Amino acid sequence: MHRTGELSGQYRTLEQQRETASLGMWVFLSTEVLFFGGLFMTYTLNRSTYPDVFSAASKTITLWLGAVNTVVLIASSLTMALSVWASQVGKKKLLTIFLISTLVLGCVFLGIKGIEYHDKYVEHHIPGWNFNFEPGADVATNAHAQLFFSLYFGMTGLHALHMIIGAGLLIWLIKESLRGRFTPEYNTPVEIIGLYWHFVDIVWIFLFPLLYLIDRH
**Residues comprising the chain, all counted:** 217
One residue of 97, 110, 123, 154 binding another protein per CB under 8 A: 154
Using CA atoms, how far apart are residues 173 and 179, in angstroms rounded to an integer? 10
Using CA atoms, how far apart are residues 134 and 185, in angstroms rounded to an integer? 59
Site membership for another protein, residue 109 (CB under 8 A): no
- Within residues 30-49, the interface with another protein by CB under 8 A covers 30-42, 44-46, 48-49
Measured from the CB atom, the residue of 40 and 117 that comes closer to another protein is 40
Using CA atoms, how far apart are residues 50 and 35, in angstroms rounded to an integer? 24
Q: For residue 7, report the phi and psi dihedrals to the nearest 5 degrees.
A: -95, 120
Site membership for another protein, residue 76 (CB under 8 A): no
Site membership for another protein, residue 165 (CB under 8 A): no
Site membership for another protein, residue 20 (CB under 8 A): yes
Measured from the CB atom, the residue of 161 and 178 that comes closer to another protein is 161
Site membership for another protein, residue 70 (CB under 8 A): yes
Measured from the CB atom, the residue of 11 and 186 that comes closer to another protein is 11
Measured from the CB atom, the residue of 171 and 205 that comes closer to another protein is 205
Give CA separation, 20 vs 6, 32, 40, 188, in Å: 14, 18, 30, 10
Using CA atoms, how far apart are residues 14 and 149, in angstroms rounded to an integer? 47
One residue of 140, 161, 165, 171 binding another protein per CB under 8 A: 140
